[in-house]
């Protein structure tokens, strides 16, 4: 059950730890989100190695969806029976008012948290500007149930969270700013976050499972990885066994899948794999400006995955 808040009346969502999938969004031939496929995929993920789900992150193509589309999809997923205790909703937008609207909905739905991008259109903004943005977001949402996870992805957003900024936010909003997804690809940054904040009930999730074992060994909460959409069980094996003999071999096996995907655009690649495994061409659909993976690259990716021992049969069982 969720914990009771400080005033004994506010229901605070329990924090999710472990392997989380940033869920792919399926689209139909008219470029509209396909709710049936999305719900089916969410259910499969939770039954096949995922401790939780992140809707509307980068892998979900969230920034190609409108606020209205995101709100409707979130409501539909919850109405279809996906447990809100297993859901973190991506709510970060360049517009502060949009972020507030989506974050309020995440709380009203009872989600386990909100994953929030920095406002990413204006580059080279000072930490103080980002602090004011997040302070305004938290103050205007004004709800003790809010559990906010920072989304650090400078390779894409080109705006990120410095360690001093993260410290300042956690000190000003303890119990509200509770974690970060570190998709910097910089292991030294991930280690620094864990070393500085891990003892303060602040959860660090690397966004690349290549660092999963090493991160768990120094105190990470798990990982939020795109490849969990198709291969969460090997990651769960690492999470469950990281203290045991053989953990290094499990990590290496999981890492080989990541290496295969890294040669191609990862969202089209993941969707190509699902389309093949499920014999469902609609899974290839991505929203512009993304393009589906070419047939030639798809075949190369499939061959590389097969060489890793990729669980095609498990993926096809829906």
- Residues taking part in catalysis: 58, 121, 151, 181
Report which of 2, 7, 1, 21 is spatially closest to residue 233, judged by C-alpha positions.
21
CA distance 98 to 249: 44
Specify which residues 271 forms β-bridges with.
Answer: none
- The alpha helices in the chain, defined as continuous H runs, are 35-47, 67-79, 96-109, 127-141, 154-157, 163-172, 187-197, 212-217, 228-241, 247-261, 266-278, 295-307, 312-316
- Cα first-last separation, the chain: 29
Q: How far is CA 236 from CA 157, 200, 205, 223, in A?
A: 28, 25, 14, 10
CA distance 146 to 142: 8
Report which of 211, 183, 27 is spatially closest to residue 117, judged by C-alpha positions.
183
The residues, any chain, with a CB within 8 Å of residue 252's CB and separated by 6 or more, are none
CA distance 93 to 99: 5
Report which of 238, 251, 260 is spatially closest to residue 304, judged by C-alpha positions.
260
CA distance 143 to 273: 40
Phi and psi of 181, rounded to 5°? -100, 115
């Amino acid at each position: 059950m969720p914990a009771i808040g400080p005033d004994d009346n506010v229901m605070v969502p329990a924090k999710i730890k472990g392997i989380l999938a940033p869920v792919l969004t399926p689209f139909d031939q008219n470029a509209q989100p396909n709710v049936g496929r999305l719900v089916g995929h969410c259910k499969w993920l939770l039954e096949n190695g995922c401790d939780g789900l992140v809707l509307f992150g980068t892998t979900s193509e969230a920034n190609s969806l409108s606020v209205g589309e995101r709100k409707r999809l979130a409501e539909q997923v919850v109405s279809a029976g996906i447990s809100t205790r297993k859901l973190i909703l991506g709510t970060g937008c360049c517009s502060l008012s949009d972020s507030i609207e989506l974050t309020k909905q995440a709380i009203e739905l009872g989600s386990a948290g909100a994953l929030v991008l920095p406002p990413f259109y204006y580059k080279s903004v000072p930490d103080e500007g980002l602090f004011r943005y997040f302070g305004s977001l938290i103050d205007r949402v004004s709800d003790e149930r809010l559990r906010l996870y920072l989304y650090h992805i400078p390779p894409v957003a080109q705006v990120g969270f410095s360690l001093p900024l993260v410290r300042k936010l956690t000190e000003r909003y303890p119990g509200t700013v509770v974690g970060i997804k570190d998709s910097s690809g910089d292991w030294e940054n991930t280690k620094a976050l864990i070393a500085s904040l891990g003892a303060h009930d602040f959860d660090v999730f690397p966004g690349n499972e290549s660092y999963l074992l090493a991160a768990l060994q120094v105190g990470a909460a798990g990982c939020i990885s795109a490849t969990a959409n198709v291969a969460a069980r090997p990651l769960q094996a690492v999470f469950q066994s990281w203290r045991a003999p053989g953990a290094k071999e499990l990590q290496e096996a999981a890492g080989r899948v990541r290496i295969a995907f890294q040669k191609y655009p990862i969202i089209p690649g993941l969707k190509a794999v699902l389309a093949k495994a499920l014999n469902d061409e609609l899974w290839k659909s991505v929203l512009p400006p993304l393009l589906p993976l070419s047939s030639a690259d798809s075949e190369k990716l499939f061959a590389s995955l097969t060489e890793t021992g990729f669980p095609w049969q498990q993926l096809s069982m829906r």
